[in-house]
Amino acid sequence: MLLFELTVWLYCGTTAVFYIASCFMRFCINPSKDSG
C-alpha cells in the first residue's frame, strides 16, 4: 500500500509541476498582448 501511495503522490506531483511549468513557459515565451 505504501508503494501505491508513493506512486500516486509522485504521479500527481509530476503532473502538477509539468502543468505549472508549461503555463509558466507559455507566458514567458508568448506574453499576453493585452498587457501594456
CA dist., res. 10 & res. 5, Å (int): 8
Q: What is the pLDDT of residue 26?
A: 85
pLDDT value at residue 11: 96
Tens digit of pLDDT per residue, the chain (36 long)? 789 999 999 999 999 999 999 988 888 877 666 654
pLDDT at position 3, please? 92
Q: What is the pLDDT of residue 5?
A: 93
Q: In the prediction, which pLDDT does 36 show?
A: 47
Q: Which three cell numbers stand for residue 14?
A: 509530476
Supply 33's cell numbers: 498582448
What DSSP string describes 1-36? -HHHHHHHHHHHHHHHHHHHHHHHHHHHHS--SS--
Helices (H) and strands (E) in the chain, counts: 1, 0
